[in-house]
Amino acid sequence: MRATQLYAPTLRESPAEAELVSHKLMYRAGFIRKAAGGIYSYLPLGWRTMKKIMQIIREEMDAKGGQEIMMPIMQPAELWKESGRWAVYGDEMMRLKDRHGREFALGPTHEEIVTSLIRDEVRSYKQLPLMFYQIQNKYRDEIRPRFGLMRSREFVMKDLYSFDRDVDGMNISYEKMYDAYSRIFERCGLKFRAVEADNGAIGGGHSHEFTVLAPSGESSIAYCEKCNFAASDEKAELKIIHAAPEELRPLKKVLTPDCHTIELVKNFLNVPIEKTIKAVAFMDDEERLIVAFVRGDHDVNEIKVINSVAGANHLYMAGEKLIEAANSCAGFMSPIGLNDKAIIVVDQSVMEMSNAVTGANEVDAHFINVTPRRDFDARKITVADIRMVQEGDPCPHCGEPLKMTRGIEVGQIFTLGKKYSEALNATFLDEDGTTKYFEMGCYGIGVGRTMAAAIEQNNDADGIIWARAIAPFEVVVVPVNAKDSAQLAFAEEIYNELAAAGVDVLLDDRKERAGVKFKDCDLIGYPLRVTVSPKTLDSGNVEIKVRRSEEFLNFARETCTEKILELLETL
C-alpha cells in the first residue's frame, strides 16, 4: 500500500479529554475518532490492527473446534424475559422499540440467542460438543464511559459459547479455551496473567480473567512470582495469619471519647493497628444487618462476605437505625454484646488475635484485651476468609509473599453450567435415553481493549511500538525525498520485493519532508523502517531502523529482503 492512498491523519496534539496514553496515541496516530461518548470510528490504520487481532483470534478459535457464526445485534425482548435477564440486566442494557412498540435490546452478550438457536436444532448427544463464536459489536450503556476504547458503550467483542453433554465435557471445553486465550495474547505480544476470578452470581464453575499488566489498568490483581498463582483482588483466597502466643489478660472496658475510627482508637490507646479489630456494617436486600469484623489494618472484601452469608446478594452500607436495633452504635461495634438482629461474620485471622481492641457497642467505649477465641460467642458468629488481599500476604499455594499489580482485563472465560439451558429449557437426548440440559461455557475477548492494552504496554515519548503480529503494517519504506525520482524508484523496487515476499509493507511516497515522515513513522509505530536516501543510493546498502530498540542496521541491497524477513521473526 502507498501512503498517498492511505487515510492516516496524524495530529500533533491530543484531544483534551484523552487521559490514557493509549487513548492519546490512538487519536494522534489516526487510529480512531470519536462519534459520541464511548462510541468510536476506526480509521484505516486502527482497523488494520483490529483485523489482525481478530485474525489471530479466529485462527485460535478454529484450532480448538470453534465455528464462526453471526448472530443478531438486535435481539427480541421475549428471550431476555424468558431467561429473567430483561429485568436483572438493568440500565446497562440498551433498549429500543420498533414501530409497533415491540421491545428489543442491543446485545450486551448473546447467551439467550445462542441458547435458543441450539435448543431448536440440536437433539442428540451425538452432535456434541459444539462451540460457536462470533466477532461483532456489543452494546453496554456504561454509567461512565471513559479512557477511549477501554470502557466504551459500543465495542468489538469475540464471544464463544460451548455446549457439552456433561460437566467433564464442559471442563474440557474450558481448558481448550484457556489454552487458546493464552496463545492469543502471547501472539499479540502482550505481558499478561490468567487470574482466578470471581464468577459471582453464576456460581459453581471456574472463571479466569486474562489481564494485561499495566499500571493504568482498572483491575487489581495479586500474583505470586514463585508459583503460578494469580487472582483478582476480590477473589484471592487467603491463609490464616497465626500470631505469636502471648499471655492473655482479662477483658476490660475503657473510655475512648470521640474515637470512632480505627486511626483515632489506635492513637488514643497507643496500640499497634494489628491489635485492633475493625467493624463494617452492611445491609442486604432483605435489610438484614451483616457486620463484618477484620483486623484494623485489613480491608473487608464484600464479595467474600456475600459468599459467606447464606441468601445475601448485594450489600449496602447499613444505616444507624439497623445498627441501634442490634444493640450497638456506629463506630463502636463489637461481636461481644450484639443481639440476634446482627449476622456476625469474623475474618479467620481475627480469631488468631489476642489482647486486641474492639468497640464496646456503646458510644465512646472500647474493649481491650479482647481474645476472640475466648470472648466471642462461637454459636453466634461465622468465621470465614472475608478480607481483601494485600501486597505481602502469603501465597495460598506456596506461601511466598504475594505481589500486587494493576492490569487491563482483556478477556474472561466462564463455565456457566446449566444456568441458561435450564432457564431457556434447552435439552438434548443423551446416550442413556434421558433428556438432559446442556452444560455451557462462555468466553469473551474485547478486541478494541486488546489493541488499547497493547499500546499501554508498548509506547515511548515518540509514539506506539507495535509487535509485528498486530502492527498496521510490518514495514514502512521511506524515500527521504519522494520528489527525487531515483530515490522513489529505488524505494519502489524494495517495496515490491518485500510485498512479493509476503511482507505487509507500506511505501511512504508522500512528498513530505523527511522529518515529517519520520515523526509519523515513530508515532504510528511500524516495527521496521527502511530509509532510502542519496546516502543509501550511493553505497548500495539499505538502512533499517528498528522501532523498538532504536537501532540502525545496514544491509546490502541484494540480501536486504532476506535480512528483513529474518529480523521480522524476532519482533
Partner RNA sequence: CGGGGUGUAGAUCAGGGGUAGAUCGCAAGUUUUGGGAACUUGAUGUCGCAGGUUCAAAUCCUGUCACCCCGACCA
Task: State the cell numbers at 37.
Answer: 461518548
> Which residue of 514, 546, 553, 565 would you call a contact of RNA, by CB under 7 A?
514
Residues in contact with 486: Cβ distance below 8 Å, sequence separation at least 6, in sequence order: 537
Tell me if 38 contacts RNA by CB under 7 A: yes
Tell me how many residues contact RNA (CB under 7 A).
60
CB of 266 to RNA, least distance (A): 11
Which element (helix H / strand E) includes 23? helix 21-28
* Closest to RNA by CB, 331 or 407: 331
CB of 413 to RNA, least distance (A): 26
DSSP 8-state code for residue 21: H
How far apart, in whole angstroms, are the C-alpha atoms of residue 390 and residue 233?
A: 8
Q: What count of other Cβ atoms lies within 10 Å of the Cβ of residue 336?
A: 18
> Within its chain, how far is the Cα of 246 from the centroid?
44
* Closest to RNA by CB, 409 or 508: 508
Q: What count of other Cβ atoms lies within 10 Å of the Cβ of residue 342?
A: 24
Backbone angles phi, psi at 85, to 5 degrees: -85, -10
- Is the CB of residue 208 less than 8 Å from the CB of residue 175? no
Tell me if 280 contacts RNA by CB under 7 A: yes
> Which residue of 183, 288, 519, 563 would you call a contact of RNA, by CB under 7 A?
519
CB of 36 to RNA, least distance (A): 4
Residues in contact with 482: Cβ distance below 8 Å, sequence separation at least 6, in sequence order: 488, 491, 508, 509, 510, 511, 512
* Closest to RNA by CB, 20 or 118: 20
Tell me if 318 contacts RNA by CB under 7 A: yes
Site map 479..498 versus RNA, x via CB under 7 A: -xx-x---------------
> Which residue of 516, 551, 556, 566 would you call a contact of RNA, by CB under 7 A?
516
Tell me if 401 contacts RNA by CB under 7 A: no
> Within its chain, how far is the Cα of 336 from the centroid?
41
Tell me if 545 contacts RNA by CB under 7 A: yes
* Closest to RNA by CB, 111 or 522: 522
CA dihedral sign, ordered 248, 250, 256, 262: positive
Stretch that binds RNA, among 206-214, 316-324, 348-356, 373-381 (CB under 7 A): 316-324
Residues in contact with 37: Cβ distance below 8 Å, sequence separation at least 6, in sequence order: 145, 153
Tell me if 299 contacts RNA by CB under 7 A: yes
Tell me if 513 contacts RNA by CB under 7 A: yes
* Closest to RNA by CB, 17 or 59: 17
Pairing of strands 342-347, 289-295: parallel
CB of 372 to RNA, least distance (A): 18
E strands, 467-565, in order: 475-479, 505-507, 528-532, 541-546, 552-556
Tell me if 302 contacts RNA by CB under 7 A: yes
> Which residue of 53, 221, 281, 488 would you call a contact of RNA, by CB under 7 A?
281
Q: Is 5 exposed, middle or buried (0-12, 13-18, 19+ CB in 10 A)?
A: exposed
Tell me if 261 contacts RNA by CB under 7 A: yes
CB of 244 to RNA, least distance (A): 26
How far apart, in whole angstroms, are the C-alpha atoms of residue 312 and residue 290?
A: 9
Query: What is the four-CA torsion angle of 123, 124, 128, 130, rounded to 10 degrees?
Result: -10
* Closest to RNA by CB, 243 or 514: 514
Q: What count of other Cβ atoms lies within 10 Å of the Cβ of residue 110?
A: 26
* Closest to RNA by CB, 154 or 474: 154
CB of 433 to RNA, least distance (A): 51
CB of 356 to RNA, least distance (A): 15
CB of 145 to RNA, least distance (A): 6
CB of 546 to RNA, least distance (A): 11
Nearest to 231 by CA among 261, 250, 207: 207
Site map 109..148 versus RNA, x via CB under 7 A: ----------------------------------xxxxx-
DSSP 8-state code for residue 507: E
Tell me if 257 contacts RNA by CB under 7 A: no
* Closest to RNA by CB, 159 or 385: 385
Residues in contact with 168: Cβ distance below 8 Å, sequence separation at least 6, in sequence order: none
* Closest to RNA by CB, 24 or 138: 24
* Closest to RNA by CB, 59 or 550: 550
Residues that bind RNA (CB under 7 A): 10-17, 19, 28, 36-38, 143-147, 260-262, 278-282, 299-300, 302, 316-320, 323, 330-331, 333, 462, 480-481, 483, 513-516, 518-523, 531, 533-536, 543, 545, 552
